[in-house]
Structure 1
Amino acid sequence: MSTPFGLDFGNNNSVLAVAKNRGIDIVVNEVSNRATPSVVGFGPKNRYLGETGRNKQTSNIKNTVENLKRIIGLNYKDTEFDQEAKHFSSKLVELEDGKIGSEVRFAGKVETFSATQVAAMFIDKVKNTVIEDTKASIKDVVIAVPVWYTEEQRYHISDAARIAGLNPVRIINDVTAAAVSYGIFKTDLPEGEEKPRIVAFVDIGHSSYTCSVVSFKKGSAKVIGTAYDKHFGGRDFDRAITEHFADEFKSKFKIDIRENPKAYNRVLTASEKLKKVLSANTAAPFSLESVMNDVDVSSQMTREELEELVKPLLTRVTEPITKALAQAQLTAEDVDFVEIIGGCTRIPTLKNSISEAFGKELSTTLNQDEAIAKGAAFVCAIHSPTLRVRPFKFEDIHPYSVSFSWDKQVEEEESMEVFPANSAYPSTKIITLNRTGDFEMKAFFTNPSDAPAGVSPQIASWKLSNVNVPEGEQSVPVKVVLRADPSGLHIIEEAYTTEDIIVQEQLPLPEDAAEDAEPEFQDVTKTVKKDDLVITASTFALSADELAKLTEKEAELHAQDKLVAETEDRKNTLEEYIYNLRSKLEEEYKDFASDAEKSRLGDMLNKAEEWLYSDGEDSTKGKYIAKYEELAMLGNMIRGRYLSKEEEKKQALRAKSESSKMAELAEKLAAQRKAEAEKK
């Protein structure tokens, strides 16, 4: 049985949650943190994923890839590329398909990985983190992504999950996942004919800002308005602080950190910490040792200075709120509560700006960092065939209008708007077409200008075959089932030809009819399914061959990482054994080994140590094991004598203790007999 897994795929950190123990639990990583850095680093032998990648980022700056969710599915020639590229320390290159890839030095060679591959590496890492923590089977996952993800990006993140060996049962908008988390734990939501509760969710994370307006009733939620600013988040505040100090250090210390990527990254990391400190304090010091050219830097910043520094950013707070309310056809007064999520919403000046935009106090019912992951885990549990969960229905909203077109074979319309903007999904529509033979269909943005920048207006295409036209007929009716599925993907779920058949239906008897009256029948024409069509889809998803190839590659890299980790562990075990055995040979074991054994084992330890720091510095797992066993053969024999003697001592102490207890008991019994005799 697979444990439902929810992943909040964050730009800076990702949060993992599972549905178990009759609730939703956050999964901690290998260092007991409740969030895992969304970082993939590449080293001389293996990859550095999550926490390890973050720890090695400064020393491995050019081979560390972060901001993973920003480049997945993005075209290299996209108008937003330059804006994203400035946040990367690794080299971004154009792939054959026009997408963005990352060029790094890995295992001594220059390698290029697609954004989907790098995301898959990270997802594989967090999958194994969940397996380690829960000791359960992990197969199904719901991944929370930004509202602004295009259909192409949703396909790419689904592919990344599949490469990592997971089944992405649903790709959910992150704020919608938070709304689910809110709805399932609230016990006071309106019911029946009561007025729905209107809640605005403002999510400002590391890289983007989303506002969604949601209508709640008990057991259900419906997104009625949503808007976003793709380039407004915590990283913009961090960069503003870093640029401020870059100018200050240039004039004060005569160093330019912009010329040194490692120095810039260290200041950027320190700026993020400073931002957090200033969220709770009015002033904070800022200092770094040997930041560049052996120069130590120090400064300070007040909260007022920070607010002045980010004032241009704060002017952008209102727009997503205004747009979301307009889409929902509501005013700020209609909103009952404003829930804030995302780490960036802890900044006091930002909270004030949001509060002013709505004209009301903000609410923090939800855990700002974990609500999205918990909502995603609950949605995954809904899809689980083995878990029973509280019924909860939710709908999201189409940001754009989507139409479908088809080959012109008869005199009829060639396209139709099927899913209008602002309509709810998941949803299903059935259209009927008259076809003269096999045909093609396409899904596209109704208004090409609605397509996100750099994205083709076409969404997907399909070939529909096995259209059999009856002899003597010019065309045949075809029913096509069009669906906007729960992940926001537009698909053709089913297609089939129909035919009209005549059946006899019994007419109702008159009220005054005799009991033995003969029933009357009439011929009725009914439309029934005839032949299922074969649907061949052409979407943004990887082909089966490409998916299999990348899955195999990820499995190889995972095995390589595991071997490197096990080899390092064996090396450390050998090193520890050498020092421990040498120390014990001079202390605990000194009376349990002959002089010849001590001399022989001492030589063996010295040679093993010498080998370990020369030829054995970069050896294999098997050689470390062999060296360990060679030492352990003699070492364990001496240790056995020591343990045998220790056991003898324990047995002697135990016998002495038991003898003492028996003597005490005998003495006590004798005293009792003497007392009884005296009474007589």
Structure 2
Amino acid sequence: MTNPTNSIIATGVDLGSSEFRMTYSDDGQAKEISMPAVAGSDGKNLIVGKEALQQAAIIPDHFVVNPKQLEFTASENELMNNKHKLPYKLVVGKDERLRVDLPCNGKVISYYPGGFIGSILREMKKESQGPSGKKTPITDAVISVPDYATELQKNHVHCSGMSAGFNTKVMEESVLAVTYHGLDEDDAVKNTAVVHLGQTLTASIVSKNEGELIIADCFHEDNACANLIHKDFVKRHAPELNELYGVNILEYDKPNYIAPDAKSVMDDKKRKEYLVDKSFPDSNMVRRKHQLRRLIFNGVNGALPLLVEGKTATIEVNFEDKVFSQTISREYYKKFRKVIVNQVNKLFKDTVPARKFLKSDTDALVLLGGLAHDRKLVDMVGDSLNAIRKKMPPTDFPEKVVMKGAYALADAITEGGRISIPRPTTARRRKPDSSSPVVRVKRELPTNEELCFIKRKRFVRTALVVKKRSGY
């Protein structure tokens, strides 16, 4: 809804791990735009969104999937120590900031993670204006960041929003959730516990300090919630995948691995020589594992909304002209709900930061839904946390609690005043096209001829660089 005094159109942006979401008002109706969190180079231009997602399965070393992870990793050393798991080249610049080197127009260009975020936001803004670009452009944006983001990281996101053409305000997810539910105006609530069941489980304490909301404590864990389902699916079906594609997906992206025709584990130098010298497809072992894992990840993500609705979903992975098909039953997902709740319980009982979180003197509990807005899972986790911490009052979950990110941002405060965007009263879920939906994902590797062409181009480019540096 347009602000009556300042004629400002505001949007809420949720920087997700798998996709970015933008909510805004168009003629009094809440509209949403989502775009895959993927950006990279096709060799000539920087591309983002769905096109980038398709290209990333073919040339993963040219694309960054989940730039949010690069921007908000707690430790740069942690990323650099695990850079062998990333298909692209990760470096630290002279300014001690992480960069990604990508080939573009015959040369290597360095991009900061914030540059990828800004490019995706710019494309989303363009999409919101319609094909003709005649719609009133969105001027203000409130962007959510994880509670554990540092001031420097928030500043990077602010710059990304400004580069996309927004007057940007950056706020933590938990602060937005508290504002959304009006707990900031409730005098009886001084400390609010907020648990976000996203791809990364985050628990925070939001306190009032002289009228301002601050995050007093924060704890997060990557190996929970959605990641558990992806890992379990891969582990269960690894033998079938290995037999079908000849890929041991459980050894995904290890720095030292045993090649199909090698008798011992190779060091990094020999591994690189092996990747360069051997012929297709063995020379692309890491690439193939990355592609196959990404396809399965996309398939499971597509199946989640259907499973949440109580339906059975079939995942079909078409890879190298071979089809892997697997049905996920709703009974399996129901069992996995309990697995997730048990994992959350374990974290809050056994981990020191989580135990501290539960012992805090909180007046209210807010659960941010994730995992395809599974209301049942949110209720189960809420009851479980209340059972662990008896002092916390009973949870009351109106539908809006399971709304994640972008919806909560709608009620955020911008410099132009309070921007009110209509909130949905029920969870929005994608409706399946049929009673027995199938989630199909298909990608193909380059042919031998295409691969040789790619190698030849890279060799010529490398030779030119060496020649230039040598001064000949």
Same fold (TM over 0.5): yes
Residue pair 2:99, 2:111 contacting (<8 A) in 1 also: yes
Cα distance in 2 for partners of 1:341, 1:349 equals 9
From 187, 195, 198, the counterpart of 1:205: 198
Structure 1 residue 84 displacement after superposition: 7.8
TM-score scaled by structure 1?
A: 0.46
| In structure 2, C-alpha distance between the alignment counterparts of 1:322 and 1:160, rounded to whole Å | 36
**What corresponds to 1:417 in structure 2?**
none
Give yes or no for the alignment of 1:298 onto 2:296: no
For 1:10, the equivalent position in structure 2 comes to 16
Q: Give the match for residue 38 of structure 2.
A: 39
Correspondence list, 1:148-187, <5 A? 148-168=148-168, 170-183=169-182
- Which among 110, 115, 127 is matched to residue 108 of structure 2? 110
In terms of Rg, which structure is larger?
1
Q: Distance in 2 between matches of 1:79 and 1:127?
A: 33
Indicate conservation of the 8 Å contact 1:238/1:272, yes or no: no
C-alpha separation between the residues in 2 aligned to 1:175 and 1:79? 25
Taking CA–CA contacts closer than 8 Å with sequence separation of 6 or more, which of the two structures ends up with the larger relative contact order?
2
* Residue deviations 1:281-315 (CA, integer Å, cap 9, x gap): 486544423x24x4332344423664687688442
The residue that corresponds to 1:366 in the other structure is 400
1:247 matched to which residue of 2? 238
Superposed counterparts of 1:238-387, under 5 Å: 238-245=229-236, 247-250=238-241, 252-253=243-244, 255-256=246-247, 257=249, 258=252, 259=285, 260=288, 261-281=290-310, 284-289=313-318, 291-292=319-320, 294-301=321-328, 302-303=332-333, 306=336, 313-314=343-344, 315-316=346-347, 322-327=355-360, 329-330=361-362, 334-335=363-364, 338-343=366-371, 346=374, 351-359=379-387, 360=394, 363-366=397-400, 368-370=402-404, 372-380=405-413, 382-384=414-416
Looking at structure 2, the residues matched to 224 and 263 of structure 1 have their Cα atoms a distance apart, in angstroms, of 39
Amino acid corresponding to residue 371 of structure 2 in structure 1: G
Distance (Å, rounded) in 2 between the aligned partners of 1:274 and 1:20? 30
Instruction: Give the Å deviation of 1:388.
Output: 6.2
Say which SS state the counterpart of residue 56 (structure 2) adopts: coil
Residues in 1 aligned to 2:112 and 2:44: alpha-carbon distance in whole angstroms: 20
Q: Which amino acid aligns with 1:357?
A: L
Q: What is the rounded CA distance, in whole Å, between the counterparts of 2:119 and 2:303 in structure 1? A: 31
Q: 1:524 aligns to what?
A: none
- Using the alignment, how far apart are the partners of 2:73 and 2:375 within structure 1? 30
Q: Separation in 1 of the partners of 2:246 and 2:149?
A: 40
Q: What's the offset of the Cα at 1:243? A: 3.0
In structure 2, C-alpha distance between the alignment counterparts of 1:363 and 1:84, rounded to whole Å? 41
Work out whether residues 41 and 64 of structure 1, in 8 Å CA contact, stay in contact via their aligned partners in 2: yes
Amino acid at match of 1:157: V
Percentage of identical aligned residues: 16
Structure 1 residues 11 and 288, CA, compared in 2 at 3 Å: closer, same or farther? Answer: closer
Distance 1:85 1:26 in 2: 42
Change in Cα spacing, 1:82 to 1:313, as seen in structure 2 (3 Å) is: farther
- Distance apart, 1:19 and its partner CA: 5.9
Q: Are 1:101 and 2:99 matched, yes or no?
A: yes
Shift of 1:147: 0.6
**C-alpha displacement at 1:38, in angstroms?**
1.9
* 2:228 counterpart of 1:237: yes
Q: Whole-Å Cα distance in 1 between the matches of residues 8 and 108 of structure 2?
A: 38
**What is the CA–CA distance in structure 2 between the aligned matches of 1:339 and 1:309, rounded to whole Å?**
18
TM-score (norm 2): 0.63
Alignment equivalent of 1:122, drawn from 120, 123, 137: 120
* Matched ranges for 1:619-630 at <5 A: none
Deviation at 1:14, TM superposition (A): 1.8
The 1:243–1:197 alpha-carbon spacing in structure 2 relative to 1, beyond 3 Å, is same
Task: Report the AA paired with residue 50 of structure 2.
Answer: E
Letter in 2 for 1:166: F
Give 2:411's aligned amino acid.
Answer: F
How far the C-alpha of 1:173 sits from its partner, in A, is 0.4
Q: Residue type matched to 1:383 in 2?
A: E
CA separation in 1, counterparts of 2:41 and 2:409?
30
- TM-fit CA distance, 1:6: 2.5
Q: Secondary structure at the match of 1:343?
A: coil
2:90 and 2:372 map into 1 onto residues whose CA distance is 27
What is the deviation of 1:9?
1.9
Q: Does 1:78 align with 2:77?
A: yes
Query: CA-to-partner distance for each residue in 1:573-627, whole Å, 9 max, x for gaps?
Result: xxxxxxxxxxxxxxxxxxxxxxxxxxxxxxxxxxxxxxxxxxxxxxxxxxxxxxx
Distance 2:366 2:72 in 1: 32
Please give the root-mean-square deviation of Cα atoms over the aligned residues, in Å. Answer: 3.9
Post-superposition CA distance 1:457-479 (Å, at most 9, x none): xxxxxxxxxxxxxxxxxxxxxxx
Q: Once the 2 structures are TM-superposed, how far is the Cα of residue 356 of structure 1 from its aligned partner?
A: 0.9
- The amino acid of 1:18's aligned partner reads Y
Shift of 1:138: 3.5
Cα distance in structure 1, aligned partners of 2:197 and 2:151: 22
Instruction: Give the equivalent residue in structure 2 for 1:64.
Output: 63
Structure 1: segments with no counterpart, 5+ residues? 29-33, 391-680
Tell me: CA distance 1:76–1:179, structure 2 relative to 1, closer, same or farther (3 Å): closer
> What is the alpha-carbon distance in structure 2 between the residues aligned to residue 252 and residue 352 of structure 1?
38
- For residues 245 and 97 of structure 2, the distance between their equivalents in structure 1, rounded to whole angstroms, comes to 40
- The equivalences for 1:464-475 within 5 A come to none
For residues 285 and 137 of structure 1, what CA distance do their matches in structure 2 show? 40
Q: Aligned-pair distance for 1:374?
A: 4.0
Name the amino acid aligned to 1:366: K
Shift of 1:149: 0.2
Determine the C-alpha separation between the residues in 2 that align with 1:76 and 1:82: 10
- Residues 95 and 16 of structure 1: CA distance in aligned 2, closer, same or farther (over 3 Å): same
Going from structure 1 to structure 2, the CA distance change for 1:309 and 1:11 (only over 3 Å counts) comes to same
Quick one: which amino acid aligns to residue 9 of structure 1?
A: L
Pairwise CA distance, 1:107 = 3.8
Determine if contact 1:40/1:118 at 8 Å carries over to the other structure: yes
Report if the CA contact (8 A) 1:50-1:122 is conserved. yes
Distance in 2, matches of 1:40 and 1:18, equals 23
Structure 2, unmatched stretches of 5+, are 1-6, 253-284, 388-393, 421-472
Q: Which residue of 2 aligns with 1:145?
A: 145
For 2:174 and 2:301, locate their aligned partners in 1 and report how far apart those are by CA, in whole Å.
24
1:448-506: per-residue Cα shift (whole Å, max 9, x none)? xxxxxxxxxxxxxxxxxxxxxxxxxxxxxxxxxxxxxxxxxxxxxxxxxxxxxxxxxxx
Q: Could you tell me how far apart the structure 1 residues matched to 2:207 and 2:91 are?
A: 40
1:228 and 1:357 map into 2 onto residues whose CA distance is 15
Q: Which amino acid aligns with 1:378?
A: D
**How far apart, in 2, do the equivalents of 1:73 and 1:311 lie?**
26
Q: Once the 2 structures are TM-superposed, how far is the Cα of residue 252 of structure 1 from its aligned partner?
A: 4.7
Instruction: Give CA deviations for 1:166-194 in whole Å, capped at 9, x if unaligned.
Output: 332x321012112222229x9xx867xxx
Q: Is the 8 A contact 2:369 2:378 kept in 1?
A: no
CA–CA separation in structure 2 for the residues paired with 1:101 and 1:164:
19
Structure 1 residues 325 and 74, CA, compared in 2 at 3 Å: closer, same or farther?
closer
Q: Contact 1:27 / 1:130 at 8 angstroms: preserved in 2?
A: no
Paired AA for residue 273 in structure 1: G
In the alignment, what sits opposite 1:50? Answer: 49
Rounded Cα–Cα distance in structure 2 between residues aligned with 1:155 and 1:221: 19
**Could you tell me how far 1:130 is from its partner in structure 2?**
3.3
